[in-house]
Chains A and B, each alone.
Chain A
Amino acid sequence: MTQGLDQIFVTLQHWAVSHSPAAVQPAVSILLPVVGILIAFPALFAITTVLERKGLARIQNRYGPNRVGPFGLLQPMADAVKSLTKEDLVPRSADKLVHFLAPLLLVAAVFVEYAVVPVGRNMVLADMDCGVLFFFAAGAATEMSVFMAGWSSRNKYSLLGAMRAVAQMISYEAPLILSSIAVVMAAGSLSTVTIVEKQAGYSGFWPHWYVLTPWGLAGFVLFMIAATAESNRSPFDLPEGESEIIAGYLTEYSGFKFALFFLGEYLGMFAISALGITLFLGGWAAPFSFLTWVPSWIWFFGKLLVLIAVFIWVRGTLPRLRMDQLMNFAWKFMLPMTLMVIFSAGLWRFLPSGVLRWLICAAPIALLYVVLGRVLQTDRKIEKRVYRYAE
């Protein structure tokens, strides 16, 4: 029974393939998982928009959407109808073709990333030899689309937003990739499926996830910080800083193109969280050995929802960074820390297991954290703020 429920989507796919004419069987077996991805993640997007607005509202001590349907749960429908019926405005001096292509490129590139994400046991679209590399290569196209959106709008705010976004995404891509290299080293493979398999098994009831090692924990935290910056979410939402540059590269977008950008950004956030789950949180594996009877895909989406909740929580809690703080943080703190995580992962690989290994591997990371904190504080003078014009 549990076995059947675990593999229900795989069984369904096999059934559909075997009941279709022989000529279209290869096409059906490829297209069905694609359709699954195209349904599951946008549905998750719809749920997340409500959860985010509700959650932020609770944090800010107000009700949030509560008019459409029970508890405001049908709000995404209303949003979809609204964005579909809105007029699609394109500025007269805009570069029409590039302006049109930018949201499409973003959504297409983000959907491609899902090809290598294992969402359950035997549930991955493409088990590639270079799965992690494929994910980051597909992510490179999102930077292009953001730039295209900002440049083609012919608007100073859009261009500023795009420049900020691209600079930020390039800066945080380095720690993002470097922190996943630690996992790739430990697993000895770039394939997402193999990485999940390497984290299988339990000691007692405790899983062998990489997040439960000292370097894995530090790597996971760094990965999620970089992922927040990469998906342009608060506190790294400078590209859309509405108090400074209106809405950044989204300023000249309206109607359904704006909705596509919205969809692309949320799907990008889900995709990068899914990669974080695959790399550090054991993919679709159950957190305790006595919970393995719960279907694997439930665990995957459960972990995804938890990470989304953390994203919403962080957004409601932290104020926006300044541009120089953002860059200093990426290059002076994140980059050395990720390099130390790689070093620690190497130590972990060659030391015999035991309590001592824990201490030896945690020590360099903790030491660097303290040293960086001290050194980066020294040249910053905190003095009384002088207002030149407002005195």
Chain B
Amino acid sequence: MTAPFVILAILAIAGATAAMTLRKLVHCALALAVCFVGLAGLYLNLNAQFVGLVQILVYVGAVVILIVFAILLTRHDELPAQTSRTRIAGLGVSALVFALLAWAVTAGGAKFGAAGTQPEAAIKDIGSALMQRYVLPLEVVGLLLTAALIGAVVIAMEEKKSK
């Protein structure tokens, strides 16, 4: 528990909490961006430069912007104060997920040993792993995403023409 870790963890948790509790949707999206930056800082703190920087580039630069666009392009009146009826179930599910993750982390830590050897993944290693060993999954994912992108455009275009 070093000082940078504590600061970044507080940033991430505060951002996540604010994203859940704030009333205006755009505020929530901005708080989510703060949370993502905190997570990226944690990755950078672990010497995972590539993952940390891509986290900022993709999540802050693209995902949050996309969320914000979705909020602006759809109707968003001021939400009345409301309580969900499935609140208890939601709490139960999130507690279960948390328990599962906590168990995985603690059990995995015991298995692999939390000894001081910090794995250094240079960006070159990540690149050659993606391009050699995992090239087929990478291509499949690329094809899938391209298909999804073109599909989205096609659906949007047809709607426009039928008007």
Known: A144-B64, A166-B65. A133 touches B54 (CB 8 A): yes
Stretch at the interface among B55-63, B93-101, B135-143: B55-63
**Complex CA–CA separation, A163 to B69 (angstroms):** 8
Known: A136-B57, A144-B33, A163-B72. A129 touches B49 (CB 8 A): yes
Of chain B, the residue at the smallest CB distance from A141 is: B60
* Partner among B26, B50, B60, B62 whose Cβ is within 8 Å of the Cβ of A133: B50
Known: A133-B57, A136-B57. A128 touches B64 (CB 8 A): no
B30 and A170: CB pair below 8 A? no
Determine the main DSSP class of A at the interface with B: helix
Residue A94 at the chain B interface, CB threshold 8 Å: no
Q: Shortest beta-carbon distance, A94 to chain B, in Å?
A: 13
Known: A133-B54, A136-B57, A137-B57. A98 touches B30 (CB 8 A): yes
Q: 9 tightest CB-CB pairs across the interface, nearest first?
A: A140-B61, A137-B56, A137-B53, A137-B57, A133-B53, A130-B49, A140-B60, A140-B57, A130-B53
User: What residues on B are CB-neighbors of A173 within 8 Å?
Assistant: 61
Q: Mark A140-159, 1 if CB is under 8 A from B, else 0.
A: 11011001100100000001
User: What residues on B are CB-neighbors of A139 within 8 Å?
Assistant: 61
* Partner among A143, A148, A166 whose Cβ is within 8 Å of the Cβ of B30: A148
Residue B130 at the chain A interface, CB threshold 8 Å: no
Q: Shortest beta-carbon distance, B130 to chain A, in Å?
A: 14
B33 and A129: CB pair below 8 A? no
Of chain A, the residue at the smallest CB distance from B66 is: A170
Q: Mark A114-150, 1 if CB is under 8 A from B, else 0.
A: 0000000000000011100110111111011001100
Counting chain B CB atoms within 10 Å of each CB, the highest count among A128, A129, A138, A159 belongs to A129
* Partner among B26, B33, B49, B56 whose Cβ is within 8 Å of the Cβ of A128: B49
Determine the main DSSP class of B at the interface with A: helix
Residue B123 at the chain A interface, CB threshold 8 Å: yes
Give residues of chain B (111-161) contacting chain A, Cβ–Cβ below 8 Å. 122-123
**Complex CA–CA separation, A128 to B53 (angstroms):** 11
Known: A98-B30, A140-B57, A190-B123. A130 touches B64 (CB 8 A): no
A129 and B30: CB pair below 8 A? no
Residue B14 at the chain A interface, CB threshold 8 Å: no
**Complex CA–CA separation, A144 to B67 (angstroms):** 12
**Complex CA–CA separation, A128 to B48 (angstroms):** 12
User: What residues on A are CB-neighbors of B49 within 8 Å?
Assistant: 128-130, 133
User: What residues on B are CB-neighbors of A141 within 8 Å?
Assistant: 56, 60-61
A129 and B61: CB pair below 8 A? no
Jot down 11 A-B pairs with beta carbons below 8 A, ordered by A.
A98-B27, A129-B122, A129-B123, A137-B53, A140-B56, A140-B61, A144-B64, A151-B68, A159-B72, A163-B69, A166-B68
Residues of A within 8 A of B (CB): 98, 128-130, 133-134, 136-141, 143-144, 147-148, 151, 159, 163, 166, 170, 173, 190
Known: A129-B122, A148-B30. A143 touches B61 (CB 8 A): yes
**Complex CA–CA separation, A170 to B33 (angstroms):** 17
Q: Shortest beta-carbon distance, A156 to chain B, in Å?
A: 12
User: What residues on A are CB-neighbors of B123 within 8 Å?
Assistant: 129-130, 133, 190
Known: A130-B123, A137-B53. A147 touches B60 (CB 8 A): no
User: What residues on A are CB-neighbors of B62 within 8 Å?
Assistant: 140, 170
Q: Shortest beta-carbon distance, B36 to chain A, in Å?
A: 10
Starting from the known contacts A140-B57, A140-B62, 6 additional A-B residue pairs (CB-CB under 8 Å) come to A128-B49, A139-B61, A140-B56, A143-B61, A144-B33, A166-B65
A151 and B60: CB pair below 8 A? no
Of chain B, the residue at the smallest CB distance from A97 is: B27
B60 and A166: CB pair below 8 A? no
Q: Shortest beta-carbon distance, A273 to chain B, in Å?
A: 20
Q: Shortest beta-carbon distance, A150 to chain B, in Å?
A: 10
User: What residues on B are CB-neighbors of A140 within 8 Å?
Assistant: 56-57, 60-62
User: What residues on A are CB-neighbors of B57 within 8 Å?
Assistant: 133, 136-137, 140
Of chain B, the residue at the smallest CB distance from A136 is: B57
Counting chain B CB atoms within 10 Å of each CB, the highest count among A98, A133, A159, A166 belongs to A133
**Complex CA–CA separation, A148 to B26 (angstroms):** 9
